[in-house]
Amino acid sequence: MKQGRYILSLDQGTTSSRAILFSGRGEIVGMGQKTFQQHYPQPGYVEHDAEEILSTQIYAMHAALENAGVSADQIDAIGITNQRETTVAWDAQTGKPIYHAIVWQCRRTAPECEKLKAEGWEDYIHETTGLILDAYFSGTKMKWYLDNVPEAKALAAEGRLRFGTIDTWLIYCLTKGKSYVTDVSNACRTMLFDINKLAWDEKIMQRLGIPASALPQVVQSSGIVGYCSSEILGCEIPIAGIAGDQPSALFGQCCFDAGMAKNTYGTGCFVLMNAGDKPVMSKSGLLTTIGWQLDGKVAYALEGSAFNAGSAIDWLRDGLELIEKPSEADMLAESVEDCGGVYFVPAFTGLGAPYWDMYARGGVMGMTRGTTRAHFARAVLESLALESYDLFHAMENDIGMKIKELRVDGGASKSRFLMQFQCDLLECSVLRPECLETTALGAAMLAGLAVGMWDGLDELRTIWKSRTTFQPEMSKEWVEQKVAKWHKAVERCLAWEKD
């Protein structure tokens, strides 16, 4: 490890852009963050302004350096981790987006997905890409641009149209258009990428009408792919690590061995398990995805995603105004003995794994005249753990064994109540690390490996340390009763918006 040198990790999320500066010991020495606007032009539509994402990310980079008192020439490399599936379309000649970015949560392409299912594409897409045919992924978002933004077709005909997930957009902008790339962990979330051949799939591209010229070069997750322009921070800095947010967190949790699993409690809940060097095709509604590619070797993963988790806590604060800050939800939850029979299903934008119902919507069941805001807050927190239970249980079914340990991160993992409740449901150890910023740390680790900050995975393992370990305290009968009621509530929310 190098002393006195740093890695700058850009953590571009769904609601804010952050930059975190890490030392050679994996310690945070500086941080910058700026939120940006969410756009909801109509029900089920979610958009971001890609130029605002770029400007907030650059602001966060400067803020992190200023906060740490570090100059740009002390930074060995930049790592990038990003909200996956969110898609930007821009003109290669002007570098300007032609429309807002379409966010991973957006459901506008659900009808196109239904059409593809009716045409019999479901099995081919699953076998080729490892994904479920769903509006969550980028491919149908790209088709939406081509079908609905007149400029898109004209640019495609001239070879000037560029599509990219947020990693691609940031790298393109930071390198002043010199690098047009994505890594395997992001490419595999487009629904256009063959995870066995590690190449764009021409058959799916042709069906969706997406030209090869509009897709970036796919690279491995660790390696120099370009240089951040000196106009940004004052000197050129290699961009050397790329990973989507959830694979990056898996790497940052040092889940380098097959069978190791983590859960990130962010805007959504994302359970990932390292599946080894060969893809494991799920029979339980999970996704087969790529964790990272390092030194030419691919680590595959099984993934379960719940679309709304931390966003449900935000809704308690911003939508219902029941709390002023997230920690209040914890205090309310612990002020009552149980949820009072109330169950909340946070299906604001449909349900992800293992249900994959684009038409599900949120619901609250079991309320009585005796229900208080404390019961309601507790039900919302419990729903995050219950969603994760479904994902974790599906994962165990796919691998045919019980997982003994879960590593956790993300904002909501700070909740003692939630982590103990999660531990009780899963009946396994839950480990919360000293550094909860594992998404940013993973990107930093990938970049650091590429420039010699760290020698290899064994050295990285020494960086990860557990701060709190939770052990299960409740009976199997209690788990079965909670889960049965939860599934009863979920059942009532399925296909709500479907005619």
Helix axes 150-158, 138-148, angle to 10 degrees: 100
Residue ranges of the annotated binding site are 14-16, 18, 84-85, 136, 245-246, 267, 310, 411
CA angle 305, 32, 264 (to 5 degrees): 15
d(CA 404, CA 429): 6
d(CA 342, CA 234): 55
What tokens does 291 get?
Answer: 């964790």
d(CA 128, CA 132): 11
b/e code 256-278 from CB counts within 10 Å (16+ = b): bebebbbbbbbbbbbbbbbbeee
Name the DSSP letter for residue 434: S
d(CA 96, CA 75): 29
Q: How many residues does the chain have?
A: 499
d(CA 490, CA 387): 10
Kindly give, in sequence order, each residue whose CB lies less than 8 Å from that of residue 197, ignoring residues fewer than 6 positions away: none
What tokens does 462 get?
Answer: 């020494």
Are the beta carbons of 342 and 367 closer than 8 angstroms? yes
For residue 290, the one-letter residue type is I
d(CA 207, CA 191): 12
For residue 17, the one-letter residue type is S
Residue ranges of the annotated binding site for ATP are 14-16, 267, 310, 411
Residue ranges of the annotated binding site for sn-glycerol 3-phosphate are 14, 84-85, 136, 245
Sort 364 into a burial class: Cβ within 10 Å, 0-12 / 13-18 / 19+: middle
φ and ψ at residue 72, rounded to 5 degrees: -60, -30
d(CA 328, CA 150): 47
The H or E element containing residue 201 is none
Closest CA to 352 of 75, 135, 68: 135
Closest CA to 452 of 243, 230, 240: 240
Residue ranges of the annotated binding site for ADP are 14, 18, 267, 310, 411
Q: How many CA atoms lie within 13 A of 247 on its CB side?
A: 33
